[in-house]
Structure 1
Amino acid sequence: MFAFLSSARKALTRCVFVGATLSLAACQPISIGGGTNVGGGTGPTIDPSEPVRVALLIPKSSAGAGTVATSLENAARLAMADLTNVKIDLRVYDTAGSTDKAASLAQKAVADGAQIILGPLFADAANAAGVAVSEQNINILSFSNNTSIAGGNVFVLGPTFENTAERLMSFAARQGKTKVLVAHPNNVEGQFGRNAVQQAASRNGLAVASVNGFEFSQPGIVAAIPEIKSAMDSTGADTLVLTSNSAGALPLLAQMLPEAGVNPSKIQYVGLGRWDVPAQTTELPGLQNGWFAMPDQAMIQNFQARYTQAYGSAPHQLAGLSYDGIAAIGALVEAGNKKALSAGALTQGAGFQGVAGAFRLRPNGTNERSLAVAMVRDKQVVIIDPAPTKFAGAGF
C-alpha cells in the first residue's frame, strides 16, 4: 500500500497519470469542439445480400499507438468471423495518429466505396474525419469516448463519463440518497466528470449540494481535504462523488478524507473510475463500502480468452470497441434492412450485444452501455446491482 500511495504522490507532483497513458490519450475527453447536430448521416442505401464495405481507420504506424491499433484490427476480424449471414469487406487505412491524415483517409475511404467508417482512435482525428465526410452521407463509429465530438455523423463507442454517472446516480436515488458533493481535479478530465455527475444527479432528482474543484497536484489535494470536509458538514450531503481514478488523485483522496473525518461508514463514497484497477485500490480506507460501476467481467473475460486463442496474446483494453462496431453493423445488416447503416438504424432502442454486454448508440452521437454497480466490501469487489442484459425504454 505504501508503494501504491508513493507512486500516486509522484504522479501528482509531475501532474501526469501513471499507467494506461495510451488509453487516456486515446479516449479520455479533450476539448476540441465537434459535431453538434443530432441525428447523424442518413446513411447509404445498401444491398444486404452483398458484402458491406467497412473502412477501419487506425494508427498502425504511430509510435505510441501501434499496439492498440493491432488489437483493434484483430478484434474487428474476430467479430467478422463470428458473423454467419453477413459478409464484411474490411479495408484498413493507417492514420499514423495524424489528424490531417485521418481526414484525408476518410475521404479516400468513401471514394473507395466505404459505406460506413469504424474509427479513428483519437478524438481529434475522429472529429476531423467526421467533418471531412459530413456531406458524403456516411456515418462514423469512432473509438473515442469524448462526447464533445459526438453528433452529426460521428458516434462515439468508448465508455463515457455520462453513462457511468447516470448508472450511479440513478442507483443512488433508488437507495434514498438525496444530496451529492462532487470532488474533482481542475483539469479537462475532472471537468468532464463533474459535468456528467451534475447532469445525472439532476435527471435523477438528486441535489448537488457542493462542487469542490482542486489543483491536480499533491499540494492541491492536501489543501482540498479540509475544504471538502467543511462542505460535507455544512451542506449535509450524504453522497461524495470522486471523479478521479486510481492513476490520478483517487489514492490520496481515499486515504486522507477518512483521516479528516469524512467517514465512509456514514457518507456514501461513489467513484466514476474503476476502483478494482489496480487490485490494491480496494485496500484504500475511503473506498470501503463505496460504489463504482463496471461492465460484465465474465463477458469481457470470455472475449479476452477467445482473442488470446486466436492471436496468441491478450487484447488491448480498447480492442472490444472494434468488435462491438462490427457486431452492431452485422446485426443491422443481417436484418435485411437496406437502410441498415442509417442513423435511425444505428440508434434503434434495443441496442446490440457487445464484448461487455448490451450497448446502444444514442441520436446525439453518444452511447449507453450496460453496467453493474459494485461495492468494495472488506477490500473485495462485490456486485450489488448486476448489469442489465437488455435495454427497456428510450434511455436517458
Structure 2
Amino acid sequence: MFESGMTLKMAETVGQRQRYAPARRQMLRGLGAMAMAGLLAACQVVPKTNGPATPPPPTNPDNNVGPGLPTDTDRHRVALLVPQTGANADVGTAIANATTLALLDSRTERVRITTYDTAIGAAAAARQAVADGNKLILGPLLSEDVTAVAPIAREAKVPVLSFSNDSGVAGNGVFIMGFVPGQSVERVVAFSRAKGHLRFGALVPRNVYGDRSAAAFRAAVAKAGGTLVAVESYDRSATALTGAARRIANAGAMDAVLIADSGGNAIRAVPVIKGAGNKQILGTELWNTDAALGSNAVMRGAWFASVSDGLYGQLATKYRARFGKAPYRLASLGYDSVLLTVRIARDWKPGTNFPANRLLATDGFGGIDGIFRFSNRGIAERALEVSEIGAGGFRVVDPAPTKW
C-alpha cells in the first residue's frame, strides 16, 4: 500500500502489447514486494536541510523575492513531493522525470513545478512547499508521508494529489491516484461471475494489502451474486503459503479462487490448489508486472484485472529516449497528475487557491493509464481491463471501458 518502511524497488522492462506478448506490462513490482505497498529538468529540488544565510534585500525593487522562490504571477506554482534520496530515490526520480515529460508534451506555460525531497522529511518538505507559495501538492508516494503532509497542507488550504494507493489516507483534502487493489478484485470477480463461475474462494497474505483485498473480495462476490466458500490467510513464508493453499483446496467445491499476492507466490500456490480439482485462478493488479507468469504452464488461463498498458508503452519509449533508461511503472502517475493539473489550470487564476472541487468532475480525466475519476472519498476510480495469462505473456479478454 506504499506504506511506512517499504522499499519500492520496481524494475521494469516494457514490451509491445500484442496477443500473448511476452512481458507486456511492468506494473508495480514494489506492490509485489509489499503485496500485501531525474531531477526535473524544469524544476527545482528543495531539500529539508538548512541552506545558506538569507541574502540581503535586492537593490532592484521590481525584483520581488518571496520566502523561498521568486514570485511568479503568470504561472501556477505546484509542488512535487517525492523521494529524491534514500531507498526509494529511483522511483521518486522516475516520477519527477515523467512530470517533466508531461510539461513538455502539454506545452503548457501556465504551470511551474518545484520538487521537494520527502526522504529527508515529508513534513518539512510540505512546510517548505507551502511557504514557497505552492497551491497544489503532487505526491507524496508513501502513505506514512501522506499522513505527515496532510494536516500541513490542509491548514494552508492546499489539496494533496498523492501517488499512494492506500485508501485509508484519502479524504479531507487528500486525493489518491494509486492503483487500489479492491478495484481490481471487484473487476476480475465480476468478469468471472459473468463467465458462469458461482462459488468463490480466496487466498490472501496476512497484512494490510491482504486484509483489504479480502474485504473487497467478500463485497465483490456478494455484489456479483456469487457464493463465498472460504477465505484463507497466511504469513509471508513458503510453509504458511502452502498450508493455506491446501486449506483452500479442501474447503469445499468452488469454481474460482482469487490469489491476492505476487505472481511468484501464485506460482507456488496454484499447483496445490488445482491438486484438488481444476479451478479458475484469479489475480490482482500485482500480476501485471510479472513476466514469469506467462512461462509457467500452471498459470495459463488465469485472469487478472489492471489498468491498460496501451499508452504506457509510448511513454516508456519517450522516457528512454530522453533519460537513457526504462522508467518505473509508477512514473505514469506523475505524468497523469500533470495532465490533470494542466486541464484544470485553463480556468484557474494564478496565485489563487486550487479549485479542488474540479477534481470531482463526473466525467473524470484521461491519461496514460486510461480514464479515471475521483470518488467523494478522494479515491481514484479506474477503468480496468481483464487479461488472461497464456504461453509467454498476456492477452486482453475484456477491454477497459473508454468512458464512464
Per the TM superposition, whether the score is higher than 0.5 is yes
Aligned to 2:263: 246
2:75 is the counterpart of 1:56: no
Judging changes above 3 Å, is the alpha-carbon distance between structure 1 residues 92 and 274 closer, same or farther for their aligned structure 2 residues? closer
Structure 1: gaps (5+ residues)? 1-15, 31-48
**CA-CA distance at 1:174 after TM superposition:** 2.5
2:234 is the counterpart of 1:214: yes
2:211 is the counterpart of 1:191: yes
| In structure 2, distance between residues paired with 1:107 and 1:275 | 37
1:270 corresponds, among 259, 265, 282, to 282
The count of aligned residue pairs is 346
2:366 corresponds, among 342, 353, 367, to 353
Judging changes above 3 Å, is the alpha-carbon distance between structure 1 residues 106 and 203 closer, same or farther for their aligned structure 2 residues? farther
Indicate the SS of the match to 2:154: coil
Aligned to 2:309: 297
Aligned to 1:143: 163
| In structure 1, distance between residues paired with 2:211 and 2:297 | 25
**CA-CA distance at 1:313 after TM superposition:** 1.9
What is the 5 A alignment of 1:1-396?
A: 20=10, 23-24=30-31, 50-62=74-86, 64-84=87-107, 87-96=110-119, 98=120, 101-231=121-251, 233=252, 236-247=253-264, 249-258=265-274, 260-263=275-278, 267-275=279-287, 277-335=289-347, 341-378=354-391, 380-390=393-403, 392=404
| In structure 2, distance between residues paired with 1:312 and 1:237 | 49
Contact 1:329 1:341 in 2 (8 A): no
Contact 2:162 2:177 in 1 (8 A): yes
**CA-CA distance at 1:19 after TM superposition:** 6.7
| In structure 1, distance between residues paired with 2:330 and 2:378 | 19
Which stretch of structure 1 is more off in the superposition, 280-289 or 317-326? 280-289
| In structure 2, distance between residues paired with 1:261 and 1:29 | 26
Aligned to 1:41: none
**CA-CA distance at 1:333 after TM superposition:** 1.9
Contact 2:9 2:30 in 1 (8 A): no
Contact 1:26 1:144 in 2 (8 A): no
Q: Which amino acid aligns with 2:94?
A: S
Greater Rg, structure 1 or structure 2?
2
Q: Which amino acid aligns with 2:301?
A: N
| In structure 2, distance between residues paired with 1:333 and 1:368 | 22
Q: Which amino acid aligns with 1:238?
A: D
Contact 1:283 1:379 in 2 (8 A): yes
**CA-CA distance at 1:285 after TM superposition:** 4.3
Contact 2:348 2:355 in 1 (8 A): no
Percent identity, please.
Answer: 28
Q: Which amino acid aligns with 1:311?
A: F
Displaced runs of 4+ in structure 1, greater than 4 A? 16-19, 25-30, 335-340
Judging changes above 3 Å, is the alpha-carbon distance between structure 1 residues 67 and 293 closer, same or farther for their aligned structure 2 residues? same
Contact 1:57 1:117 in 2 (8 A): yes
* Structure 1 length-normalised TM: 0.80
Contact 1:182 1:240 in 2 (8 A): yes
Q: Which amino acid aligns with 1:352?
A: F
Judging changes above 3 Å, is the alpha-carbon distance between structure 1 residues 25 and 86 closer, same or farther for their aligned structure 2 residues? farther
Q: Which amino acid aligns with 1:57?
A: L
Q: Which amino acid aligns with 1:262?
A: G
Contact 1:29 1:146 in 2 (8 A): no
Which stretch of structure 1 is more off in the superposition, 318-327 or 220-229? 220-229
* Structure 2 length-normalised TM: 0.78
